Structure 1
Amino acid sequence: METNGSLPPYEVLVAGPYFTDLVFHGLDRPVRPGTEVFADGFGLVPGGAYTPAMALHRLGRRVVWSADFGTDPFSAQVLSCARQEGLDEAAFRRHPFPVRSLTVALASDGDRAMVSFQDPVEPEPLVPLLRRFRPRVLLLPQLRWDEGTAAACRAARRLGTLVVMDCHDAPASLADPAVREVLALVDVFTPNDGEALRLTGADGLDEAVGLLSRLVPTLVVTRGARGATAVRDGERHDVPAARTAAGAAVVDATAAGDCFNAGLVHGLLGGWSLPDCLAAASVCGAAATTGPGSSAALRAPELDRLLGAATNMT
């Protein structure tokens, strides 16, 4: 792979904002207006696009993450964690004003509710980033359907870069031609089941899968405890959810989807079959639920061991 100057040959460009996740876990009941619920545990961990960037880095992939940081303590906390993890800072932008991004996650019974806040900041254009870093994969953690994203998807296609896009509860609909245009330019789309239903307006998941799989070459719909469904070239694969390691309790599902995507991209970069990619993704997603936020993201030897154990049990 050609590189510009002294830049290393990056495998993945992750483009998206950081978040600081304040995770309250072990709630014995949902939080309702007018009530107070005490949590069994609390974690203050980096999240947002930090999670797939960090998770892929832990899996041994060469990652560059495009993100904005400011003068606020949340930016400082995530930057500190990124440096501790050894993430490449080549695409970080630092601003002389606050760029606060935070989420409060309330985790109970393996699910969670979230409240978020973000200071507005215009993200760095993707096309120059693609030309600069020339990654094998562009990972977009949230569905974006602006013209800049469409242009980036077209540029990625010219460069031979695979575009993987999640949904992350974006307020989008297939009734919007701009949404359909962007999805038609994406190589792999990874909504969860609720997002697929809202995006398509379908009455059931099978209908939603059918509608989306006619737009994108590879569709992967995560279904929580029910596993995942993927469609490529008209062939459907349904895989069960991976179990957590023996004795590991589910603590927080906040980072499960992002770690699932990291495992999926890891497999795609390795040239694995789609079922094998899904198996790796499922193991990574399940492991992430055993710690607050993204703290339990796997490293490559752990993933290999868990995949081997799963193979031996079948």
Structure 2
Amino acid sequence: MEKWDVLVQGVITTDVIFSEIPKMPEPGEEVYCGEFEFTGGAAYITAVALSRLGLKVAILSPIGTDVLSQFIVHSLESEGVSTKLMKRLDQPLRTLSVAINYGGDRSFLSYQDEAKGFDLESYTLEILDQAETNFLHMSVRPNSLPVIQKAKEKDIQVALDVGWDEEWLKNADIYPIIKLGDYFTPNLREALYMTEQTTAAKALNTFRVQCPYTKVIIKLGPEGALSNVDGNEVVIPGFKRNAIDTTGAGDVFAAGLIAGVIKGHDLKHAIRLGNFCGACSVEGLGGATASPYWEQVEKEFLPIK
């Protein structure tokens, strides 16, 4: 089977984003906004961001027979992401999220079809038995442990993220999964909630005790990221950008981090690349819209390393 630099595992959403809204409509009222974007979300963002950074990427995700699924496949392929490993289900699989950016806050209205009879972790295990890759990026889920164990058996580096699920983030079973990963990139809110700490530094120390061999990087938004580099707790500064939409910035950060590691940079520089990519992404609506291409990295980031 073909070899990829990175396999990205996860669910894909179709994101409909409204911005520059003059006022929220009253019942029965229609209001026109100034900006709109229709794009992919969740795992789509990381996969596209990695591809734009010059890496060979395939995505492991279920896809359906509906028009939204067709849009996602076409969009991924147009970005150079392989869809060969996507599982085609004989059913509609509409996963849609409408984001409303108004008054400095975001509201979401979402819908998701059930993927009947499909288990993403079981499917990923099948693919890992066949596929060759250097890196696997995935979100930590309750059934993730066998997938990470299989990846480690094949000497595949694993980068882990996590979504906001209050019950799961407080579940003690999450730590045995994280400790097998090579990288774990929670944001500050997730890190504080998981560790029941009050500062990023204290949270990082808790992760160090629970997951001593995992490189934990706590994303701090525009302030950058906190990690333990060569035995020292270090804040790697962020990059200032004109923020239009922060959706997916963490996903693009992960892509930059992975690209930095694959291209041979040390941890601190790889995190800085993640910070740069995440900062660029906030300049457009949707996580992938303004995600940088490698040419932009060479022009704006590498000269100041």
Task: Report the TM-score, using the length of structure 2 for normalisation.
Answer: 0.89
Q: Quick check: 1:60 aligned with 2:54?
A: yes
Q: Quick check: 1:207 aligned with 2:202?
A: yes
Q: Which residue in the other structure is 1:278 paired with?
A: 271
Partners in 1 of 2:179 and 2:186 — Cα distance? 15
1:174–1:94 CA distance, 2 compared to 1 (3 A):
closer
Shift of 1:107: 3.0
1:86–1:173 CA distance, 2 compared to 1 (3 A):
closer
Q: Which residue in the other structure is 1:138 paired with?
A: 136
Q: Which residue in the other structure is 1:184 paired with?
A: 179
Q: Secondary structure at the match of 1:98?
A: coil
Residue by residue, what CA displacement relative to the aligned partner does 1:30-50 show, whole Å, maximum 9, x if unpaired?
Answer: x79989986431111111111
Q: How many positions carry a matched residue from both structures? A: 297
Partners in 2 of 1:75 and 1:301 — Cα distance? 30
Q: Which residue in the other structure is 2:225 paired with?
A: 228
Residue by residue, what CA displacement relative to the aligned partner does 1:250-283 show, whole Å, maximum 9, x if unpaired?
Answer: 2211121111110000001112111111111111
Gaps of 5+ in 1: none
Q: Give RMSD over aligned pairs.
A: 2.4
Q: Secondary structure at the match of 2:14?
A: strand
Gaps of 5+ in 2: none
Deviates more, 1:231-240 or 1:175-184: 231-240
Partners in 2 of 1:257 and 1:219 — Cα distance? 14
- Equivalent residues of 1:283, 1:307 under 8 A apart: yes
Q: Quick check: 1:14 aligned with 2:8?
A: yes
- Equivalent residues of 2:222, 2:279 under 8 A apart: no
1:97–1:26 CA distance, 2 compared to 1 (3 A):
same
Partners in 1 of 2:257 and 2:104 — Cα distance? 22
Out of 244, 248, 265, the residue aligned to residue 251 of structure 1 is 244
Q: Which residue in the other structure is 1:165 paired with?
A: 160
5 Å-filtered alignment, 1:32-111, equals 39-107=33-101
Shift of 1:164: 0.5
Out of 148, 153, 163, the residue aligned to residue 148 of structure 2 is 153
Partners in 2 of 1:213 and 1:264 — Cα distance? 19
Out of 233, 237, 242, the residue aligned to residue 239 of structure 2 is 242
Partners in 2 of 1:288 and 1:110 — Cα distance? 18
Deviates more, 1:119-128 or 1:82-91: 119-128
Shift of 1:87: 1.7
Shift of 1:309: 4.9
Q: Which residue in the other structure is 2:126 paired with?
A: 128
1:58–1:111 CA distance, 2 compared to 1 (3 A):
farther
Partners in 2 of 1:226 and 1:262 — Cα distance? 18
Out of 255, 258, 266, the residue aligned to residue 265 of structure 1 is 258
Shift of 1:213: 2.6
Q: Secondary structure at the match of 2:239?
A: coil
Partners in 1 of 2:44 and 2:169 — Cα distance? 28
Shift of 1:191: 0.7
- Equivalent residues of 2:142, 2:168 under 8 A apart: no
1:68–1:184 CA distance, 2 compared to 1 (3 A):
same
Deviates more, 1:293-302 or 1:231-240: 231-240
Partners in 1 of 2:142 and 2:61 — Cα distance? 19
Q: Secondary structure at the match of 2:252?
A: helix
Partners in 2 of 1:27 and 1:240 — Cα distance? 32
1:171–1:299 CA distance, 2 compared to 1 (3 A):
same
Shift of 1:233: 5.9
Residue by residue, what CA displacement relative to the aligned partner does 1:288-310 show, whole Å, maximum 9, x if unpaired?
Answer: 11111111111111112111354
- Equivalent residues of 2:64, 2:92 under 8 A apart: yes
Partners in 1 of 2:292 and 2:44 — Cα distance? 14
Task: Report the TM-score, using the length of structure 1 for normalisation.
Answer: 0.86
